[in-house]
Structure 1
Amino acid sequence: MTERDAIDDVWDQWHLERPDIDPKSLDVMAAVGRMNRLRRYVDQTLRSYFAEHGLDFSEFDVLATLRRSGGVEGVSAGALLRSAMVTSGAITNRVDKLTAKGLVERSVAADDRRSVLVKLTPEGRRLVDDILLGHLENEERFLAVLDEDERDQLNTLLRKLLVAQGDLRLG
């Protein structure tokens, strides 16, 4: 028998109190509830890890976006905005904080003086490179219970859910 979790108890309580609700609907509620609970565990773990390095997750997200983009000129604020799924004000705030920490810098695009580019400073690049492997190990612990086929299946299902919400490619 599969081990039960807290959401199973919630399912049982709803089924007991509202037997008129289709169990398949309760299964949907259970799946979303599990995603929410897991998100909280992931957030807590990531928050703790990045705090050890003087960052929050949103700051690391900007740094990682800049690092994986690979360009030496930098990335436009619009590209950062598409990557992060937040408001332009939130991106500005993140870039301001990272600039104050000496991890990123702004410059004007050579081909369009109205466009601002954001790029890693050498210190910012070093920081991302220094903490990236620890971050990946941290995430690995969340999926350690799954074998390779289950991880592939999880990725496929999560991708399908995100695409259905309109969360398509960044480019």
Structure 2
Amino acid sequence: MGSTGTADDVDGVVAAWRRERPDLDVSPLEVLSRVSRLARHLDLARRAAFAEHGLEQWEFDVLSALRRSGEPYQLTPGDLLRETLVTSGTMTNRLDRLAARGLLSRHASPHDRRAVLVTLTPQGRELADRALVALLKGERELLAGLSDAERDSLAAFLKRLLVDFEA
């Protein structure tokens, strides 16, 4: 049973493994199976928030990378690759599709004519801002059962785990 005194599905999985394989330490499942299940709930909540605004998650990823860059909301395609962790071919396709929707534009860099700059349009900025508000509302609801202190502690613990993977 979880620390709240309420059982969840993971408690059942862990109990079954402990019964069937008492020789193994299955305690990692208590953390990581919950992280995995929460990730699925988060993915569904994000998809719903973006769908409200006619966006796919990948579209928000590109638009939000540009929006976070600050004025003039420009990045190179290489910067966007690093921000979104996709391949060059995938990024080109994504930029084409977002440009066709009028959410971003591409033009030559004034400093290097061979370089391209991707710029968020006013329409793209407004859409990214609206989608962010919906995203944060949904994510706040997912975390509503935690106090501010619990949320801060959880964020710190997860960051500690994640830092090793992203180093």
Q: If the length of structure 2 is used for normalisation, what is the TM-score?
A: 0.91
Letter of the structure 2 residue corresponding to residue 19 of structure 1: P
What does residue 129 of structure 2 align with?
129
Alignment of 1:18 with 2:21, yes or no, is yes
Q: Are the equivalent residues in 2 in contact too, given 1:73–1:117 (CA < 8 A)? A: no
After superposition, the CA RMSD in angstroms is: 1.5
Structure 1 residue runs of 5 or longer lacking an equivalent are none
- Which residue of the partner structure matches residue 94 of structure 2? 94
Q: Distance in 2 between matches of 1:32 and 1:88?
A: 32
The question of whether the paired residues in 1 share the 8 Å contact of 2:53 and 2:130 is answered with no
- Cα deviations by residue, 1:57-99 (Å, 9 ceiling, x for unpaired): 1111111111111131611111111111222222222212211
Conservation of the 8 A alpha-carbon contact between 2:61 and 2:84: yes
Q: Distance in 2 between matches of 1:129 and 1:89?
A: 27
Instruction: Give the drift of 1:129.
Output: 2.2
Contact kept? 1:102, 1:121, Cα under 8 Å: yes
User: In the TM superposition, what whole-angstrom CA distance separates every residue of 1:42-63 from its partner, at most 9, and x where no partner exists?
Assistant: 1011112211211111111111
Residue 12 of structure 2 aligns to which amino acid in structure 1? D
Q: Please name the residue that 2:148 is paired with.
A: 148
Q: Distance in 1 between matches of 2:30 and 2:85?
A: 26
Alignment of 1:1-171 (within 5 A): 2-22=5-25, 26-72=26-72, 74-166=74-166
Aligned residues between the structures = 164
| Percent identical residues | 46
Once the two structures are superposed, residues 116-169 of structure 1 have per-residue CA deviations (whole angstroms, 9 ceiling, x without a partner) of 1111112111212233222211111111111111111111111111110025xx
Q: Give me the whole-angstrom Cα distance separating, in 1, the residues matched to 2:90 and 2:38.
A: 25
Counterpart-to-counterpart distance in 2, 1:31 and 1:93? 37
SS at match of 1:33: helix
Cα distance 1:29–1:89, how it changes in 2: closer, same or farther (>3 A)?
A: farther
The residue type equivalent to 1:105 in the other structure is: S
Q: Which amino acid aligns with 1:159?
A: K
- Which TM-score applies when normalising by structure 1? 0.89
Q: CA deviation at 1:5?
A: 0.8
> What is the rounded CA distance, in whole Å, between the counterparts of 1:13 and 1:113 in structure 2?
63
Which residue identity is paired with 2:13? V
